[in-house]
Amino acid sequence: MTLPSTTLLAQSALSGLFVGSLYGLIGLGLGLSWGLLRTINLAHFAFTFAAAYLCYQLVASTGVDPLLTLALIVPLFFALGAALHWVMQRFAVSAFNSLLLTFGLTAIIEAGIQAVWSADFRRLESHYGQAKFKLGELFLPVPELITLGASVALSLAIWALLKHTDLGKAMRAAAQDSAVAAAFGVNQRALSLLLAGTCAALAGVAGVCLSLSFTLAPSQIYAWVGVVFAAVMMGGLGSALGPLVAGIVIGVSEALTMAVTAPSWAPIVSFSLLIVLLLLRPGKL
């Protein structure tokens, strides 16, 4: 057996870093919703793909720059997320029932995507597609760099907002004890709608990034569920930076596994890491 070259290892690690940042970006909204709103929003994955398809459609039909579609997608998905949360509040849906409800919603969105765009594969073609930088022997594709940049920037921004602003403190307080927070004048209802909308808007951003790098098919929605859930749980529910760090750890571990052993071992990496963490830090997850 020959040892893998340094270039191979470094290129694989980069590949893992990029895909891991996408895990983190998708997981960011999911984890905030789960940790701060007590809503396990499986429809977050469907929102991500719906945004990806919308981006694809806008680019294909108007030729607009894919990143400009964010101007439409972000507010649209903010409104969708807030509306969904309003419905859940109206019917007092519990955390467990939110899982069932949003699973059903995911199936409906998947069927809707299939009805509009068919079950066939769709690939966004843009000037970003083939663009890349070369760093020594290593290649840095531009779409993946955009995803990494968006993931890091949004995670840091939300971390700062939650940690250092009154709005963020109010959100965390409402998540910890809504009754006491309300007694201190926190408008929990308005904050939860704002947060739900933000989570869905983050799904919209993740969708645009997804469409830059991946070929789309409706059934692919479910392919991301396991690994992103693992990233969210490892990163900590309600954490802004956790999913990104965990996503990158998973992505790089998977990629290095593929580089040095059989790629078929890669899928077990994320869950093995999760199990190890559960054993070592049972109270933290």
Partner 1 sequence: MNPKSFWHRLTAGVSLCIVAATASAQAPVRVGSTLALTGPLSATAQIHKLVGEIYVEQLNKRGGLLGRPVEWIVKDDQSKPDVARTLYEQLITADKVDLLMGPYATGAILSAMGVAQRYDKVLIHHTFGIPSMAKYERQFPAWSLGADPGTTVPTTVFNALAAAGRTPKTIAVVTSKFPSLHFMSLGAREVAKTRGVQEVLFLEWEFGNRDFGPIAARIKDAKPDFIWVGAIGLDGNLLLDAMKKIDYAPPLHFYVYPAPGPMVQSPDANGALSVTIFEDHPPMNTSPVAAEFTKVFRERATKANLPETAVEVQAAASYTAWQLLEAAVVGTKSLDDKAMAAWLKANRVDTIQGKLRFDGPNNYGDDLMRVKQVQNGKWLIVYPPEVAAPGAKMIVK
Contact footprint for partner 1 (CB under 8 A): 4-5, 7-8, 11-12, 14-16, 18-19, 111, 114, 118-121, 123, 130, 132, 134, 139, 141, 144, 214-215, 217, 219, 223-224, 227, 251, 254-256, 258-259, 262-264, 266-267
CA dihedral sign, ordered 83, 160, 140, 231: negative
CB of 166 to partner 1, least distance (A): 40
CA distance 25 to 188: 25
- The DSSP call for residue 119 is S
CB of 176 to partner 1, least distance (A): 35
Q: Which is nearer to partner 1, 75 or 149 (CB)?
A: 149
CB of 41 to partner 1, least distance (A): 21
Q: Which is nearer to partner 1, 243 or 251 (CB)?
A: 251
CB of 217 to partner 1, least distance (A): 7
CB of 214 to partner 1, least distance (A): 8
Q: Which is nearer to partner 1, 181 or 249 (CB)?
A: 249
- Do β-strands 138-141 and 132-135 pair in parallel, antiparallel, or remain unpaired? antiparallel
Range list of β-strands (E), 57-168: 132-135, 138-141
* 48 neighbors 206 (Cβ within 8 angstroms): yes
Strand partners, 134: 139
Q: Which is nearer to partner 1, 95 or 116 (CB)?
A: 116
CA distance 66 to 63: 8
Q: Which is nearer to partner 1, 170 or 230 (CB)?
A: 230
Residue entry with tokens 């690994």: 227
* 241 neighbors 155 (Cβ within 8 angstroms): yes
